[in-house]
Chains A and B, each alone.
Chain A
Amino acid sequence: MPRLAARGLVHRFGVTTALAGVDVELGDGESLAVMGPSGSGKSTLLHVLAGILVPTSGVVTLRGREVQGLGEKERSLLRRSRYGFVFQLGQLLSELSARENVALPAMLTGTSRAEAEAAADRWLAALGLAGTEGRRPGELSGGQAQRVAVARALVNRPEVVFADEPTGSLDQATGHDVMKVLVDSTRAVGASLVVVTHDADVAAWCDRRIDVRDGLVVAPGSTTRAGVGPRPGERAGAPGGDLLGPGGAR
């Protein structure tokens, strides 16, 4: 059974059809790149898969259970407890420190502040951010802020991580570092990953890629990397999967 699946997804904004009948499956621990030009419907697909938007028609299942019919509160709970999110920019709460930003999702699921902050510190250290725990988002570089966002997405050990243009505001080298951290750490916790991007280099980090055009998947299932050679820019023999997962908050 796929971890996350969608069948016959249709989504309309007024008279505009953003998704015109999309089928997607995501296996355990699998990473999937969703590519397409602006306005193709790829972000809408991510929003529908993640339970942010309710599709006009179609079915979304998480481990076989339909989730598209859940109410707003249940979908919100689903997103904060079983999913993780990395957006392009500006997702960290500006008044909180890096540590508090990472600890917040854990606190929202009932973990005590002390435990949540301890877990946050472990994640920040594992992602190469030791020493930045007390810094505010404005005191972090773009790459550091995105790694904090990755730590925040993973602190609850989610089942699926959704990333919407996670390197969209970064230069190529920094984007590369962030994708490595995202893919490695997501795999380390056993989560599946959906990455929406318009950048083929970013998509190349994922096991599988689909292209979306005019609300339809046009090139499903083309393998870009699965099991063949190092990732873009990765040194041969470099320790892959060196992130053992610092232990979530739960």
Chain B
Amino acid sequence: MRVNPVLALAPRLQRAGGRDSRTTTVLAVTAFAVSTALSLSVVAALLGFMERAAHPTTGLERDAGGFYVTLAVVATILLLVPLLTLGGGAARLGVARRDARLAALRLLGATPREVVGLTLVDTALQGLAGAVAGTALYGALLPVWTRIPFQGRPFTAAELWVGVPVVLLAWLAVPLLAVVSGAVSLRRVVVSPLGVAQRVSRPGLKAVRVVVAVLAFVAFMVVSVIGQSFAAVLVGMLLAGLAVAFLTLNAVGPWALGVLGRVRLWRARTPEQLLAARRLLDDPRAVWRVVGGLGLASFVAGCLAVVPVLVSGPGTDPDDATVSADVLTGALLTLAITFLLAAVSAGIAQAASVLDRRRELSLARLAGVPTELFDGVRRREVLVPVVLVSVGSATAALVMFFPLFGAAALAAPQGLLLLVGSLTVGLLLVVAATEATRPLLHRVLADTVVRAD
């Protein structure tokens, strides 16, 4: 069988590029692995609750089994976007270091199909490696999940084993997701061979995004007031609300970051402020990819601020107390996983950003730009948007669900404590993840032999 000569380059492309290429490969595979492990864990919990509902062994499992399954579905939906964000980020990271070489291949006459094929084969292999490693990680995490009691008893490892078909599905789905995300990132290379080599100003984001988002929010609030008298509609309302919120946050987030960038650029007085503001303004969508996960997590935290209100109703029934405690445990678990995913996404995206800029960063240091400046910019470019996005998203959630749960949700101190506490932990996780990219930045800056890309 004759192999296309360009596609035959795939293994070489994987090996080319030395240490940076290996670093990006390791980071991308790690991200795919984390994403896979947590996805399998979430699916395991969902399947576990479904199994208990189908074959109940206690009164609680028989009476409230359906309710638990519904909550597990909600948690799965909540985690879907951060999981996809992390997977997409990993695919983009895998593509990032290859952009320049791929553009060069295009200039040399490789067809768009060959360029796409070459990278996607590479990215799919990373996705598969991550999926396999993630399955092992999922197995390693099982003893952790089996310590957490639900419905009065912890799940057994057997209950949380997803089964071979689901594992095989993950091994198929993760590379597929990687290929789709990689293809989207590669579009610009294919459309214009010079597109990646030239760093140009991008058109600003339209304010119409905000108008659409505000309309969607208001529509949800109005409908929720009308619909809340029908209990059966409530869960549907919640799900629809989350869908609306995720979509609109994704639309408004980049625009809001662009506005923040313009304000900060205007006010910048030091080189650090100037560079951080310019990076934000340069590509708000890219910054959103870094902090967006946390934005969505904060939104979830805002939604969950109402949970203590919902579960703190009067009643002495031990089953009610168990359900209340389980709802809170599940909520905190969902939140913790979301923040973890957001933090890993932030670290991955920042690593990609450092590698994308490696040449100019290294040359700037040769010319005497202090390392501390880039360290400061690295922190500032994530922290400032992260605070805006997390606080903004949490507030949006509180406002959005206000008509459903009323001021009681806001007044319950445990709900707000949960919100503030989880936001703080989430921010610290993101800071830790971005600090993890410090050695990579310093290694890039320490490079005195600057290769021409």
Residues of A at the B interface (CB closer than 8 Å) are 47, 50, 52-53, 73, 76-81, 83-85, 87-96, 100, 104-105, 107-108, 112-113, 136-139, 153
Contact = CB atoms under 8 A, between A and B. Distances in A.
Contact of A47 (B200, B365, B448): B448
A80 B200 contact: no
Interface string B348-379: 00000000010110011111111101000000
A4 B226 CA distance: 81
A53 B270 CA distance: 28
B363 A91 contact: yes
Interface stretch (B161-169, B271-279, B427-435): B271-279
B368 A92 contact: no
B453 interface: yes
B452 A93 contact: no
Interface string B184-211: 0000000000000011110000000000
A54 to B, nearest CB: 11
Interface residues of B, number: 30
A239 to B, nearest CB: 30
A153 B448 CA distance: 18
Interface string B411-453: 0000000000000000000000000000000000000101011
B360 A93 contact: yes
Contact of B269 (A77, A85, A93, A112): A112
B367 A100 contact: no
Contact of B198 (A53, A100, A138): A138
B274 A100 contact: yes
B282 interface: yes
Interface in B363-416: 363-371, 373
B269 to A, nearest CB: 6
Given A90-B360, A94-B360, A138-B199, A104 B271 contact: yes
B201 A139 contact: yes
A137 B366 contact: no
A14 B80 CA distance: 50
B373 A138 contact: no
B290 to A, nearest CB: 15
B362 to A, nearest CB: 9
Contacts of A87: 363, 366-367, 450
A108 B369 CA distance: 8
Nearest to A94: B199
Contacts of A50: 366
A96 B275 CA distance: 7
A133 to B, nearest CB: 13
Contacts of B359: 90
B332 interface: no
Contact of B448 (A52, A83, A94, A138): A52
A77 B199 contact: no
Given A89-B452, A90-B453, A112-B269, A76 B364 contact: no
A72 B371 CA distance: 10
B373 A108 contact: yes
Nearest to B270: A107
B268 interface: yes
A153 B365 CA distance: 13
B87 to A, nearest CB: 27
Contacts of A89: 452
A113 B448 contact: no
Contacts of B365: 76
Contacts of B371: 76
Pick the most buried of B200, B201, B269, B271: most chain A CB atoms within 10 A of its CB.
B271
A81 B368 contact: yes
A107 B271 contact: yes
A135 B209 CA distance: 27
Contacts of B448: 47, 52-53
Contacts of A73: 370
A62 to B, nearest CB: 14
Contacts of A47: 366, 448
Contact of A83 (B199, B282, B368, B373): B368
B360 A85 contact: no
A76 B368 contact: yes
A104 B365 CA distance: 13
Nearest to B277: A95
Given A89-B452, A90-B360, A139-B201, A95 B282 contact: yes
Contact of B278 (A83, A100, A112): A100
A80 B367 CA distance: 6
